[in-house]
Amino acid sequence: MAKIIYVAIGNEILIGKIINTNESFIGTRLTSAGIPLESSMTIKDDKEIIMKTLEDCWEHYDVVIVTGGLGPTHDDVTKYAICDLFNKELHFDSSVWEAIQKMYEMKDTPLPEIVKTQAEIPQEFTPLPNKKGTAPGLYYSANNKHFFALPGVPSEMKSMFVEHVIPILQKNFSAHPIFQKTIRTIGIPESALYTDTQNVQETAQTKIAFLPKSGMVDIRVYGTSEQEIEEIITKFLKKIPSKNIYGFDDDTIEELFHKKMIASRKTISAAESCTGGLIQSLITDNAGSSEYFLGGVVSYSNEAKMKLLGVKESTLEKFGAVSEDTVREMVLGVQELMGCDYAIAVSGIAGPDGGTDDKPVGLVYIVTFGKTGLVITKNNFSGTRIEVKMKTALTAMHQLAINT
Amino acid sequence: MAKIIYVAIGNEILIGKIINTNESFIGTRLTSAGIPLESSMTIKDDKEIIMKTLEDCWEHYDVVIVTGGLGPTHDDVTKYAICDLFNKELHFDSSVWEAIQKMYEMKDTPLPEIVKTQAEIPQEFTPLPNKKGTAPGLYYSANNKHFFALPGVPSEMKSMFVEHVIPILQKNFSAHPIFQKTIRTIGIPESALYTDTQNVQETAQTKIAFLPKSGMVDIRVYGTSEQEIEEIITKFLKKIPSKNIYGFDDDTIEELFHKKMIASRKTISAAESCTGGLIQSLITDNAGSSEYFLGGVVSYSNEAKMKLLGVKESTLEKFGAVSEDTVREMVLGVQELMGCDYAIAVSGIAGPDGGTDDKPVGLVYIVTFGKTGLVITKNNFSGTRIEVKMKTALTAMHQLAINT
């Protein structure tokens, strides 16, 4: 199997200013192609360090993929380090230059002089077309080894990676894919899920990983064939209540919600307090959500709850804004206001302040009106304000999705 | 200066399932402490690979910081690799065990048997307390070199890093900080900003970086003293209109908005169409936003615009939902509905569908009602649906923030 290393070049990553999402993209695409990453590195955009690191990688790996430092400005030195490493000169590539000129013509903006250096590439390197920017990718191969230098800007890197890097690697390396499938769960703590499925884990011959995130837990099953995985998955599914499984692999609660709502042919609306608009924002992240989502209300203050949703002052006084009675009146209020079929309402304490012994930070009431009518749950979420908001939003969307 | 490497252990990162946000956190904190990262790596959670990599790092670096693989399950092998590398045995640490028991007592949940292995640590290693989980950090020092193994779960790693790792490093290495300051801009394209400030860039002796993100551009200035940086910053500030500068360093538009609103002692509300609740969600991400934010409306459908906000049917028919006239009626409508002082309303085409020649995807009208009354802007944002939503939200919040 090919040994592949990914090297990100950029001080911005090392000083923590940028989160390197390219690593995750490259990792995902290589894994799907059956030629997963062996390791990855991040190094400074210093010409000497780049040269030394790449020299080391070129010696120990079959494939070296570099991103970053290909731009036209003074801190872009990757191309020069590559020339030194492989002992090549830069030469002017007129096909690259034509592509750059054409791109500027299309955009109808003047072409800065500095951009012309982008057409200079190391001799014997193949330029890889850049659909979204001016810096071409650079590809070199020798002794069955493969070297790629790609732009660091994610949108430029991604299309180049999919269209050029993956095909070259697939042509040169026979893939020995490791299969995997993930069960995505919500509403059961990791430790309970682990204990409940201990038997299944013990009988499985291959690797199983538990991956908790945002109050949800993924169970990932690895194997050497799809059949082997399916057998283990089937055993897991017998041990976990189906209402706690929201999907497989890359399925998300947002997508499940979207599909369920489209299929239901019902309209919905939401009344949000502690989530402050997040539920509706997640719903409208889905293109096509206007088919079922009418809009709704962020009833952050008590006044808004009363005025827009008709929550009774006496309810707020007697039970408080964070109570079963209040969310019930909120959901009925937003249904009447918007004239929708289904609805969601939430009220809780996102923190960090505002908690009491009776009603601690993280206490959230979620009410959904779906196929079988009202469902009200009392939840205790842990985490920061932002995490409590997100857990509330996803739990609420899931609660409605399984009742449509 | 100390040479520091960070090694993340985890297949989940390499196969692209998890984005490694720990890298950014560690990078930021080390940079602030004046002892920045030299490089970082991600490797598989395979005991042999871990041992070999760490051996190499321990030879070439002064400080090795490892995260991940410290949990109690079978795929957590970091501790065993460390024992092999440093030739140490595991021993049971009763102080760690007491801390774990206490944590479970506080949570009032039963303690799983498997957790007891967390109290086993390599001999001569110092356990670092874990406030948020059961796995202690592990610290070892020899020959002026320092080795840290920390949990991979971000919340556990972060508090341990700040409370234990940073103080140990600061005690052992005298920092030679590289100073930096960032000017954060919105509303000017990178190329225009670059051209407009070319003189300043040419006179500066130290490094300057342009960092575009989400329609905003950061200009980062590096230097060997604060004074040197301030001189360059001052020159930049003379070339960039102040309305396009929303802050410095880690300032965000969300925070600027929050501070301005708190200071204004005014109440606000929002009526959102294409952003679908995102503006209100960003506002309520700020703890304390209830002081000024009353709530608002997500008027996604035309019906909601008419019914909740009193937008006239004739306006929607004549000019369309995405028009200056509609957003003007939306903002006045939400002010009347909520009884607030200031307000924001947006309507646009987030895409990917729904664009026309006249009204392409990315066209967004933003209206704010602030100190000087109504301000309406017509914007053309590029990017995906999610990006257009985010650019709209931040531009709208900035537009109101500079008019309070």
Cβ contacts of A293 on chain B, cutoff 8 Å: 276, 300-301
- Same domain for A307 and A361? yes
User: Would an 8 Å CB–CB cutoff place B25 in contact with chain A?
Assistant: yes
- Same domain for A282 and A363? yes
Strand blocks (E) in B132-197: 137-142, 145-150, 179-186
Cβ contacts of B113 on chain A, cutoff 8 Å: none
Q: Contact A40/B14, CB-based, under 8 Å?
A: yes
User: Would an 8 Å CB–CB cutoff place B14 in contact with chain A?
Assistant: yes
Report the mean per-residue pLDDT for chain A.
92
H-assigned helices in B146-189: 154-160, 166-172
- Same domain for A218 and A162? no
Q: Could you give the number of structural domains in chain A?
A: 3
- Same domain for B112 and B196? no
DSSP for A276-320, written as a single string: TTHHHHHHHHSTTGGGTEEEEEE--SHHHHHHHH---HHHHHHH-
- Same domain for B128 and B35? yes
Cβ within 8 Å of A, B 333-352? 337-339, 350-352
Among B218, B248, B278, which residue terminates a domain? B248
Model confidence pLDDT, tens digit, residues B15-42: 887 888 999 999 988 987 888 899 999 9
What span, in angstroms and rounded, lies between the C-alpha atoms of B310 and B111? 58
Among A233, A248, A263, which residue terminates a domain? A248
Cβ within 8 Å of B, A 245-274? 270, 272
Q: Which ipTM value was assigned to this complex?
A: 0.72
pLDDT at B177: 63
Model confidence pLDDT, tens digit, residues B125-178: 999 999 888 899 999 999 999 999 999 999 899 999 999 999 999 889 876 666
pLDDT at A53: 94
Among A114, A147, A172, which residue terminates a domain? A172
- Same domain for A347 and A384? yes
Model confidence pLDDT, tens digit, residues B34-90: 888 999 999 999 999 999 999 999 999 999 999 999 988 777 899 999 999 999 999
Closest residue in B to A350 (Cα–Cα): B287
- Same domain for A241 and A282? no
- Same domain for B243 and B273? no
Please write down the HEC assignment for all residues of A258-281.
Answer: HHHHHHHCCCEEEEECCCCCHHHH
Domain limits for position B16: 4-172
Nearest to A15 among B17, B36, B296 (CB): B36
- Same domain for A162 and A264? no
- Same domain for A187 and A42? no
Nearest to A300 among B15, B41, B290 (CB): B290
Q: What is the CATH number of the domain that holds B289?
A: 3.90.950.20
Q: What is the pTM of this model?
A: 0.73
Report the mean per-residue pLDDT for chain B.
92
pLDDT of residue A205 exceeding 90: no
Cβ contacts of A24 on chain B, cutoff 8 Å: 13, 16-20
Half-sphere exposure of B338 (CA within 13 A, CB side): 32
Among A259, A360, A364, A374, CA closest to A328: A374
- Same domain for A259 and A370? yes
In the DSSP assignment, the letter for residue A385 is H
Largest CA distance in chain A: 81
Query: What interhelical angle do B278-285 and A278-285 show, nearest 10?
Result: 140
What span, in angstroms and rounded, lies between the C-alpha atoms of A293 and A309? 18
- Same domain for B228 and B108? no
Q: Which residues touch A40 (CB under 8 Å, ≥6 apart)?
A: A5, A6, A7, A8, A23, A26, A27, B13, B14, B41, B42
Tokens of B47: 């005991």
Q: Contact B338/A304, CB-based, under 8 Å?
A: yes
Give the sheet arrangement for strand B208-213, strand by strand.
B208-213, B216-223, B179-186, B245-248
User: Would an 8 Å CB–CB cutoff place B53 in contact with chain A?
Assistant: yes
What span, in angstroms and rounded, lies between the C-alpha atoms of A12 and B212? 12
Q: What is the CATH number of the domain that holds B231?
A: 3.30.70.2860
Cis ω on the peptide bond leading into residue B241 (within 30° of 0)? no
